[in-house]
Amino acid sequence: MAIIIDGKQTAENITEELKLEVSKMQKKPHLVVIQVGDNPASNIYVNLKHKKAEAIGIKSTIIKYPETITEDELINKIEELNNDNEVHAVLVQLPLPKHIHKTNVIKAISARKDVDGFTAQNSGDLLNGIIPKVYPCTPKGVLRLLKEYNIEIAGKYAVIVGRSNIVGKPVAIMLLNKDATVTICHSKTKNLSEITKQADILISAVGKKIIFKDMVKKDAVVIDVGIFKDENNKTTGDVDFENVKEVASYITPVPKGVGPMTIAMLMENTVELAKQQI
């Protein structure tokens, strides 16, 4: 029976450490979140980030625009924030409306204020083995959980299911930089279960039920990044948790696994960027 990796408790511990750190800073870190439109999921995430920031002592500003805003108007605002010395971290909540190109918007954010770690400079530094201004939040949260539970990475075979720029690709590079042997699987991968069954560390970030007991090696570490509502409107993840926990050595639940860590890492990144600028 697997040990359950408690992301919620780990995130709370990090929050308390950040609260203490921020209380000692002469100038409080300032996070600005831009939200375009009224996506219900985005409303929840933005609100969660705002509450967590305020609880830590980080100044949090939410800028909301209607879906009708043009790409140029949005980029002009980002450039204004880039030049504002009172702002240390900028986040544009995704998804964006179809007429706004996500790539152009991310490109507009200054690397020194890129709290998500998505800009070309920060992701390029990560790829080249250079320490970026900050690491992407979810991959950073995954690696922090492995560290908190003293799970060895060097020399292990890590399989990542999902190749997004937000999770799959950066977590692969970060594990590679920690001396894991890494395979990335995706929707076109053939014989997925043959690959996942070999993994010492299995990370899934797809957003649908895709990892089952017969796909997991005995005593593997299983990290579930996926989160969605099932047909019964219950929050669940990529992994068949109840059955997979019988064979895994460690496993993250959904919820209370990777999700709380993503927000904790966002707060940590905000503090790190502020310290670099103050």
Known catalytic residues are 49, 93, 116
Q: What DSSP line would sit under 39-60, residue for residue? A: -HHHHHHHHHHHHHHHHHT-EE
Q: Write out the H or E segment, with its range, that includes residue 245.
A: none
Q: For residue 208, count other CB atoms closer than 10 A to its CB.
A: 11
Round the CA-based radius of gyration of the chain to a whole number and report it.
19
| CA dist., res. 266 & res. 269, Å (int) | 5
Q: Which are the contacts of 171, defined by CB distance < 8 A and separation ≥ 6? A: 138, 139, 142, 143, 160, 203, 205
Q: Convert 2-28 to b/e letters by CB count within 10 Å (16 or more is b).
A: beebbbeebbeebbeebeeebeeeeeb
Which parts of the chain are beta strand (E)? 3-4, 30-36, 59-65, 89-92, 157-161, 181-185, 201-204, 221-224, 228-229, 235-236, 250-251
DSSP assignment letter at 114: B
